Amino acid sequence: MERLRAEITSSEQSLVGLMRDSGDGAGDDQADTGTKNITREHELALAANAREMLMQTERALEKLDAGTYGLCENCGNPIGKARMQAFPRATLCVECKQKQERRY
Biggest alpha carbon–alpha carbon distance for the chain: 61
Residue pair 24/56 in contact (Cβ under 8 Å)? The answer is no
Q: Per-residue pLDDT tens for 34-86?
A: 787 788 888 888 888 888 989 999 999 999 999 999 999 999 999 999 999 99
- Please count the other Cβ atoms lying within 10 Å of the Cβ belonging to residue 13: 11
Q: What is the pTM of this model?
A: 0.65
Q: Per-residue pLDDT tens for 44-54?
A: 888 888 889 89
